[in-house]
Amino acid sequence: MSHRAVASSIRAARFITIEGIEGAGKTSCLDYLAKLLQKRAIEAAFTREPGGTSLGESVRALLLDHRFRGMVGDAEALLIFAARAQHLAEVIRPALAVGQWVVCDRFTDATYAYQGGGRALGAARVSLLEHWAQGELRPDRTLYLDVPVSVGLERIASRGIPDRFESERRAFFERARCVYLERCRAEPQRMRRIDASGSREAVHTQIAAALADLFNDGVETG
Ligand code: TMP
């Protein structure tokens, strides 16, 4: 990579997050995103939450474990943000600092949706922790893959033993989806709703359109 190309990719580093309730199709979206970035020779770190670091993956195992079905919402939110603080320090901020794009499978919108909405903690608590752990850092673009809860749950029904979140009742996911949709309405520039109930091609077309302006930035600054 030339000096100029490196400089342009430093200017253009983006933080992209992917969101959606269970069964929305995040995995297929991430595969497609990897291809889009590769085609443009954009270096990206793909990571996930909860997880992305050794500490984060251990916290993830606790969060998904049925032994902790009595975990209260506050404990859940604090564990998620503990993992997020480590992830930011170890992976996300260092990658962005050297001009690498970061694509994260879930981030703080999931905490607003699942803990704020699903567990009914409310947005104010999540916001408090968001400011503590992240300071001013927010994703540049978030793709919210939207499917009706019944469609998502049907898609995951054949996946094997459900984890602690997947075992939640339908009303929990309805509350989470409601928060996601509200956040899309409140921040339409950052958070794009993708109708993920249609064909793979239709979903991919929407994903490419939702990122087009970011790619143009990256390509034209060189
Ligand atoms: P995954 O299924 O996308 O790998 O995520 C694991 C679970 O973690 C998923 O059911 C949603 C949940 N989760 C939260 O409840 N809050 C959060 O902030 C994040 C990042 C995930």
Provide the H-helix boundaries in 99-161: 108-110, 123-134, 149-156
In Å, what is the CA distance from 190 to each residue of 172, 187, 214?
25, 6, 11
pLDDT of residue 10 exceeding 50, the answer is no
Phi, psi for 47 (deg, rounded to 5): -150, 180
Looking at the structure of the chain, the number of domains it has is 1
Testing ligand 1's pocket by substitution, the residue of 165, 166, 169 carrying the most ligand atoms inside 8 A of its CB is 165
pLDDT of residue 217 exceeding 80, the answer is no
Assess whether the C-beta atom of 73 lies below 6 angstroms from ligand 1: no
pTM greater than the 0.75 cutoff = yes
Residue 88 lies in a domain: yes
Q: Give yes or no for a contact between 74 and 120, defined as CB atoms under 8 angstroms apart.
A: no
- Using CA positions, which residue lies closest to atom 2 of ligand 1? 22
pLDDT at position 12: 77
CA of 216 to the centre of ligand 1 (A): 31
pLDDT digit string, tens, across residues 11-30: 479 999 999 999 999 999 99
Residue 220 lies in a domain: no
CATH of the domain at 191: 3.40.50.300
Pairing relationship of beta strands 101-105 and 191-195 according to DSSP bridges: unpaired
pLDDT at position 220: 39
- Domain residues for the domain of 196 are 3-215
Residue 70 lies in a domain: yes
Q: What is the mean pLDDT of residues 101-119?
A: 98
CA of 141 to the centre of ligand 1 (A): 18
pLDDT digit string, tens, across residues 111-143: 999 999 999 999 999 999 999 999 999 999 999
Q: Give yes or no for a contact between 26 and 145, defined as CB atoms under 8 angstroms apart.
A: yes
Residue 185 lies in a domain: yes
Testing ligand 1's pocket by substitution, the residue of 64, 106, 172 carrying the most ligand atoms inside 8 A of its CB is 106
